[in-house]
Structure 1
């Protein structure tokens, strides 16, 4: 099983020490044979220190202390080099002392979750699903704790970590519903993930499935309210999907009715403008891109689309002005190429060469840039 978040857990290995069990040593476990070269086994630092302080290290560092730390390291690093050997150890221990390793990992996760130690809680759940990848309940709870850890990273303004944990939660929730199509709570949480990603149609479908499967009354009411509030966003997504599919008139039928109540929603205005541009209704398209720039003067995408409209209407001076402004905001190869081609069409070869070659410096693999260079070569 793959995990997206292991690099954020690896620092927890600092909480472990390692001791070596020798094959001929005093420590023996029925049903398990220590490798002849010995085996490095983990011990939590707190256990080691407590044992030393109480001068009862031999009592404290027992088979269960080792097993707990083995589970912990498996949860931190699913590819740790001794994990397979640790699994053999754990299986033998489970038989010897009649303990359910899966239940133990779940218990430890709940223990840490209840005191707000979400990362430790997550580590035990990660160990559980690493060892038992078809444990649906374990995977579901792992996803939920990932969401809790994501919130912590959000509070710490660590967007990269937050997004990784959210993607991890999403991926594991999707695995849950693949394993159990009737897991209503997994659908409930998935709906929020898709909603936050702007996948409104998918979110609505998932939440409707959660309702069919049955939720607690308060969750049912919450989902129903969400579906009602997002209706216009679903219609927007359906509309822009049609535009991207080249079905511009059908897309406008979905998008235009939303404009009256959402006249300051620049994304909506952009898609309407793009549909008109695709239909070669340039003046209508320009009106929408200009509206966006009144709302958001530095919105680069709208600026570029307006410039393209001006260029298609042979208003090269205006197109150049817009492309130059866009390039100052975002030095992007595509923008620079458009600017260069506008200069070329305006009869200014030197500036055309400068901007297109600058685009090539930024990304020599960009297909648009390479095509513009070929076109430019015809005029050198």
Structure 2
């Protein structure tokens, strides 16, 4: 049988999946062949594997065995969950691993994670989830691999954002499907806190504390001490978030009065504090004060388009065309710079693709 090089009609790296595009490099130079008829008959797989291309490795592969093929299959469907032969691969994997393919792939993913091969770990755990979507271990290790991937090395803003979103979603799913698994709540709390969702982080960590009550595990005891300290430091951020929520609900006077308590605190350089103070004053038609607060917010977030757009609206409302013009110009400059950055990134990507052809 001839070798089939991996092509886009076999592997779809643009299938709507959040992180597939960042995993398919694991399949660079992967070549495909077909299993021999006598092997298919011997393993009882001829009814569904006949004519199915199988990944044997890259061009340097000198020896192929069933385990290597199985691992390559897992990498392929883990990198691209829409691979056209996914069902055949999963059926084959379950035969090879005697009905325990998900456990075997979870183990491979864990090994890869321990070796800091986080993207490969993602691929194995994703493959395991295709076999057993509710697997506690696969969900947990996949979420952890995504977390470790975006926290390691020099990654682009887009990469970090997509892997962070994937990790968050998986931890949320993990806690919903396995509400007694304390580590899901431990990491989900951090995910919420990193997004500034302090109330969610508080509630999630309190669930972790409840689940680990009375533990004698030394590592868990340390984690409880750590989370209790986090909860202590979350008190003010939670109150600030609650005040912001009141403003978003239209309770402007109450919200701004609560936020005003923090203008001389350690949160005084936190731009959302000033932004929502500005929003509340603007809603109450206190435009001069709103402008002061928005400009204060802009000091701490100089390229923030949302703040600038709010200033434009206020200046227009008070018929100050010079003020509105000033911030429209700033908005145009920032947006043009961002468009140029995107164009430059696309040029770099195109050049990288051309260099590989």
Tell me if both proteins adopt one fold, taking TM over 0.5 as the criterion: yes
Alignment check: 8 A CA contact 1:303 1:322 kept: no
Distance 1:258 1:44, change over 3 A: same
Cα distance change of structure 1 residues 289 and 100 upon mapping to structure 2, 3 Å threshold: closer
Distance in 1 of aligned mates of 2:257 and 2:95: 66
Range with greater deviation from structure 2 (301-310 or 127-136): 301-310
Pick closer, same or farther for the CA change 1:132–1:283 going to 2, 3 Å. Answer: same
Deviation at 1:82, TM superposition (A): 1.1
1:50 corresponds in structure 2 to 62
CA deviation map 1:87-124 (0-9, x unaligned): 222233334xxx73222212222322222222222221
- Secondary structure in 2 matching 1:18: strand
Residue of structure 2 in register with 1:13 after alignment: 27
CA contact (8 A) 1:31 1:92 kept: no
1:264-279 counterparts in 2 under 5 A? 264-279=269-284
Deviation at 1:19, TM superposition (A): 1.0
Aligned counterpart, 2:43: 30
Query: How far apart in 1 are the matches of 2:141 and 2:116?
Result: 15
| Residues 179-202 of structure 1: per-residue CA shift (max 9 Å, x gap) | 111221111111111111111111
* Closer/same/farther in 2, CA of residues 131 and 184 from structure 1, 3 Å limit: same
- Partner of residue 82, structure 1: 85
TM-score by length of 1: 0.73
Secondary structure at the residue paired with 1:49? Answer: coil
CA contact (8 A) 1:266 1:292 kept: yes
TM-score, normalised relative to structure 2:
0.78
**Structure 2 CA distance for aligned equivalents of residues 103 and 169 of structure 1:** 21
Contact 2:35 / 2:50 at 8 angstroms: preserved in 1?
no
* Aligned residue in 2 for 1:358: none
- C-alpha deviation, 1:297, in angstroms: 6.9
**1:189: which partner in 2?**
187
Question: 1:291: Cα distance to partner?
Answer: 4.3
Residue in 1 aligned with 2:174? 176
Aligned in 2, Cα 1:100/1:323: closer, same or farther, shift over 3 Å? same
1:143–1:168 CA contact under 8 A, matched in 2: yes
Shift, 1:147, TM fit: 0.8
CA distance in 1, matches of 2:32, 2:49: 17
Name the CA distance, whole Å, in 2 between partners of 1:36 and 1:213: 46
Deviation of the 1:168 alpha carbon: 0.7
Can you give the 5+ residue segments of structure 2 that lack an aligned partner in the other structure?
1-15, 334-357
Q: Is the 8 A contact 1:29 1:92 kept in 2?
A: no
Q: Classify 1:272/1:75 alpha carbon distance in 2 versus 1 (closer, same or farther; 3 Å).
A: same
| 2:221 corresponds to | 217
Deviations 1:204-236 (A, max 9, x none): 111111111117122112212222223222122
